[in-house]
Structure 1
Amino acid sequence: MQADLLIRHAAQVVTPVGRRPLRGKALGSLQVIPDGAVAVREGRILAVGPTAEVEARLREVTEVLEARGQVVVPGFVDPHTHLVWAGDRAAEFERRLQGATYLEILQAGGGILATVRATREASVEQLRAETRSRMDRMLLHGTTTAEAKTGYGLAPEAEFRLLDVIHDLDATHPLDLVPTFLGAHAIPEEHRADPEAYVALLVEAMLPAVAARRYPVEGPWRAPWTDGRAAWFCDVFCERGAFDLDQTQRILEAARRLGFGLKVHADEFVPSLGATPLAVALGATSVDHLVSTPPEHLALLARSETVGVMLPGTSFGLGSGHYAPARRFLEAGGALAIATDLNPGTSWCESMPMMMALAARYLGLTPAEALAAATLNAACALGLGHEIGSVEIGKWADLVGIDAPDYRHLAYRYGVNLVHTVIKRGKIVVREGQAVYRGTDGARPGGDRP
C-alpha cells in the first residue's frame, strides 16, 4: 500500500467505532491501541493499528509524522454552535452575577435581541473576520467539524447574510461547517406586538427562500459532502419568551415539508413545554439542551433514533448548578452527544476538550464516554457518522494529536490546551499547537502573510 501520510508510534490511538451513535452503556466502549499508527491516502484513513503492523503493510510513504508521547483521537465534532455574531454581552454577564436571570434579560429586550441588534449593524467583513477568529480557536482546540446556526439576523436579508458568511468560511477554512437555519431563535423586536406575524413570515417566506437558496460547492476547504444547500437543518428555540409548542410545531412541519432536517432547542429552562416529544414524533436528528426535560420525555427520547445533545458549557456559563441528566438518559439507552453551544451570551467557549472536562464533572460521564460523545455521537447528531467521528478505515482522516500519555487527560485536565497536532482530511493544519494552514489569499490565521 502507498500512503500520503503515516502517523506512527502514538502512545495511544483511541477511538469509538462505528457509523451509528453509541447508545447507553456502550457509549464508553473505545478501541485503545498502544504504540498506534494511522496511515492516510487521498484524505481518507487507509490503515489503523499497532505501528509495527501498519508499517509492515506499507511499501511507500510520502510523509511521516512521529507521535511519540501523544494520543491520537478523532477530530472533535461540535454539533451545536451559534457561530456567527457581532459584539459581546459582557455587561449582561455582570448583570447575571448580580442576580438577573437569562429569561428576565431576554424579556427586557436583551440577551439574543441585543446580539441581533449588533449583528444587523455589522458589515459582512466584520462578521466574517470575527467568525473566522472563533473558527481558528476552535481548530486550535481540535474541532474539525462544527454545526453553525444563523439566528442573530431574524429578518430575511439579515439571515441570508449570516448564511453567506457561513458558506464563505466553510469554503476557505479547514474547519468544516454544517449550516443550520435558526430564524426561530427569538421573536424580533419589530414583531414583539404580533409574534404570529413573525411565525407566518418564517413559514411562508423565509423557510421557502432558504430552501431554494444555493451556494457554490467549490473551494479549497469545502467539505466533500457539501451539496450547495443553504442549510441542512432547521432549528427552533422552544422556550418561554421565545416560541411556544404550537408555533414550534408549525415551523418544524413546514421545514420538514421543504426537506430540512430538524433540530430543536428543548427544555433549557422551563420543563414540560413538550418540545422533546414533538421532536421525536417529527423524526428530528437531534434535540438539544435537555436541562429540564421531564423523566418520561427523556425516556421517550432515549428509545428514539434522535440524538440528545447536552451542553454543559451553558449551565456553567450561567453559573447554574442545574445540569442535564446525562446518566439518567444513558441508563435509559439514549444516544448522547455533547457540544459547546458557542454563543456570546451563555457559553463563549470554543473548546470541546473543556466541554469534556465539564461533562465528566457535572454530567457524570467517564472520560471514555465524554470522548465518544464529542466525536462519533456528535458526528451522528449532524448526520455525518458515516464520514467522520472515528479513526476507521474509509472515513475522512480528521485526527487530533494530544500532548498527553493517556486519553483520559482530555477530561482530567482543564484550562490548558493539550492539542499538539490537527489533521484535516489528511492535511496537517495545526502543528506543535500552531496553525499552519493558509487561506485562499495565502494568509495564515490572524492575518499574517507568507
Structure 2
Amino acid sequence: MPKPTATITAKAKDKTVERIKRFLELGDYDVKVTIDPNATDTVVTVGTTTLKNPTPAQLAATMDLLLPKKSSTYDLVVIGGGPAGLAAAINARSLYDLTTLIIEQYAPGGTAATAVNQIDNYLGFDEGIDAGDLCHRAVLQAKKFEAQWLPGYGVTAFKPSDDPKTKKHEITATNSDAPHDAVTVSASLVLLATGVIPRKLTQPTAAAFEDEGIYYYALPADAEGVTAKDTIVVIGGGDSAGRAALMFSGKGAKVVMLIRDTLTKTMLKVISDKIKADKNITVVENTEATEFDAIKTPPPDNPNAKLTVVAKAKSYAVTAVYALISADPQTKWIEDAGITVVRKNETDKYGLAATGLDIFLDAIKKGTFKYEEHKKDLENVTDMATNKPGVFAAGDVRYRAERRIATAAGEGTEAALAMHNYLKANPKVLDAEAGRAAPYYYLA
C-alpha cells in the first residue's frame, strides 16, 4: 500500500526537525524536508493539516491516532506500542472487548519499526515484509478495534494495586515535550511492554551530535538520499549494525564498520558473509570510536562529510554515524513500583521483569521463598504474570524473552489470553460501570 505523505519546512535541519521526521517515519509516513533560511517556525503538513512547531501528541492527533477520551478508567493499559503491546491490545479488544489504552513514549511500532531488514520468516508473508510496514499494519489493526493511543508520553509514575478488586492500578504519563502536561489513568489490568531503547555512545564528544550527525536508529528512509559521494560509519557488530551497513552500501555509499570485537562473534553468518563479500564495506575489528568533531570545510574528495570520527588513531571524514550498539530495558520505574526484576549478573544495572516461575526462582535465590505460603500461587502460575495481581509483562522487557518481532507478537497474544483467564477467575476485578466487558466476566 502507498505510504501517506508529510512535509516539513524549517530554517535548518536541527534536532527538532530530525525528531519530527523520525516520529512521522516511524508512523510509516513518507517525509520530505525543505530547508528555508527565512523560516521562523518549523511547519509540518500531514495530509491536509498544517501545524507550527508541533509536539508528538499534536502529530499523533493529525496522524489519526486515537487519543484518550474523557474517561480516565480502562480495563487495560498497555505501556509500550511495539509488537508485544500491539498484539496484546488487538487481542484484548477484538476477542475480549476490554477498553484499552496504549501509552507509547516514542512512536507507533516501537523499536521494531526501526528495523531495516526485510522479514522473511513471519507467518503468512511468503514474499517477506518490511518491519516498518508490519508495525504500521498492526497500528491500523489496533485503530480498527478502537484501542486508544497516548503517543509521545512516557510513564513517570506507576502505582500497582495489591488488590485490584478494591483499588485500581494507577499510571501517570508525561508529555515528553511539555513536562507540565501529565495524564493519570487507572486500570484493572496493566501490560508492561516497554521493550528496550538503543544504548548510546558514552564518549564525551558524542552527545553534541545526537540527531545531528550521530543517530541511534537506521531507518530505510535514511538511505534514500545516500550516494557514492557519502561515507557512513556504522558502529556495532550485531545483526542490526550489519543490516544497516548493507543497506547504505546498497545505495553505493562507502561504509566503515567499527566493531569492538570481531565481525563474526555475534552476527548471523548469513549477514557477515554478505559483508565480507561487499567491496563498499570496510570492517575495522577490535576497535571503538574515541572522538567526534564537526567538519567546517569538507574535503574535495568527500563533499558531503559533516563529522570526523577517530578510531585507533585514524580519522574518518563521514556524512553520518549510526551507532547500533545494542539496547537496554528501562526498568528502574518498574522495580521502584515493586515489580520483581531479575538481573542476568551482578553487573547488570537494568534487569528485566520477572514473570511466572522466574518470580519464585528469584525468591528461592534470595532466600525468601516459603513453600507452604506460596504453594497455591505455584499451582496457578501464569507465564506472563508478574508478582503484582493484574500486572503482566511481554516482549523484550520480560526476562527470558527473545528479541524477535515474531516472538514479541506471540507473547503479546499470550498475555491477552492470560489476562482473560485471570478475569474469569477474578470477575470482580473489572469495573462494571467502566468496562463493556465486565458483564461477560461477571456472568461467566
TM-score category, normalised to shorter length: under 0.3
TM-score, structure 2 normalization: 0.27
User: Greater strand percent: which structure?
Assistant: 2
User: Greater helix percent: which structure?
Assistant: 1
TM-score, structure 1 normalization: 0.27
Which of structures 1 and 2 has the larger relative contact order (alpha carbons within 8 angstroms, sep 6+)? Answer: 1
